């Protein structure tokens, strides 16, 4: 992918991987430029989402971003808080995140996943006005959907290692069950 192709992906959106009654709907902060250019969520090679999904037992093997539609076979999906692609999540305004939180609530009401797993605690806090939220299950529910805040799997998030991210995904998996 050339720098020009990546730059052209700025502000694009990508389609959700979603269906009704999912076990877990994973929610990224927003698409990165490579994700927008390819149309695949969590597409940057350094992103730890796909490895954590597998290491935690959500998938029987590590899927590639281009295989994202296979998530539906496991009762899983992907969306984003903010739809607009940027090079870094900190390019989003607080209002974009709050607006994305409102759209996410509507989407959850429509599709009714058992769990909404927001990958990025800072984005979760801003989108839902939950300034004191911590990683893990949240008290807030949307209809019957429970919420879990996960660490941001971006390679830029050095506070969390691949192992500790996978452990948090595994805690969610245990809460979400296998069916």
Residues carrying an active site annotation: 30, 41
Q: How many residues does the chain have?
A: 179
The answer to whether residues 173 and 114 touch, using CB atoms and an 8 Å cutoff, is: no
Residue 66 CA to residue 50 CA, distance in Å, equals 11
Apex 130 CA angle, 141 and 49, nearest 5? 75
Helices (runs of H) and strands (runs of E) counted in the chain: 6, 5
Residue 3 CA to residue 129 CA, distance in Å, equals 36
Q: Which tokens in the block code for residue 115? A: 């769990």
Closest CA to 134 of 146, 151, 117: 151
How far does CA 17 lie from the centroid of its chain?
A: 11
Q: Which tokens in the block code for residue 176? A: 């979400």
- Of all helices (H) and strands (E), which one includes residue 126? helix 121-128
């Amino acid at each position: 992918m050339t720098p020009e192709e990546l730059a052209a992906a700025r502000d694009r959106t990508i389609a959700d991987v979603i269906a009704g009654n999912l076990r877990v709907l994973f929610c990224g902060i927003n698409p990165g430029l490579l994700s927008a250019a390819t149309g695949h969520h969590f597409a940057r090679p350094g992103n730890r989402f796909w490895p954590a999904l597998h290491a935690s037992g959500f998938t029987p093997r590590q899927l590639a971003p281009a295989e994202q539609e296979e998530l539906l076979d496991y009762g899983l999906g992907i969306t984003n808080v903010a739809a607009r692609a940027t090079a870094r999540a900190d390019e989003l305004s607080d209002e974009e995140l709050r607006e994305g939180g409102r759209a996410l609530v509507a989407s959850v009401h429509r599709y009714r996943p058992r769990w909404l797993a927001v990958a990025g605690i800072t984005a979760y806090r801003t989108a839902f006005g939950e300034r004191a939220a911590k990683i893990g299950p949240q008290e807030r529910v949307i209809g019957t959907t429970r919420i879990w805040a996960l660490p941001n799997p971006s390679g830029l998030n050095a506070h969390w290692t691949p192992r500790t991210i996978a452990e948090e995904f595994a805690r969610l998996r245990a809460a979400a069950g296998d069916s």
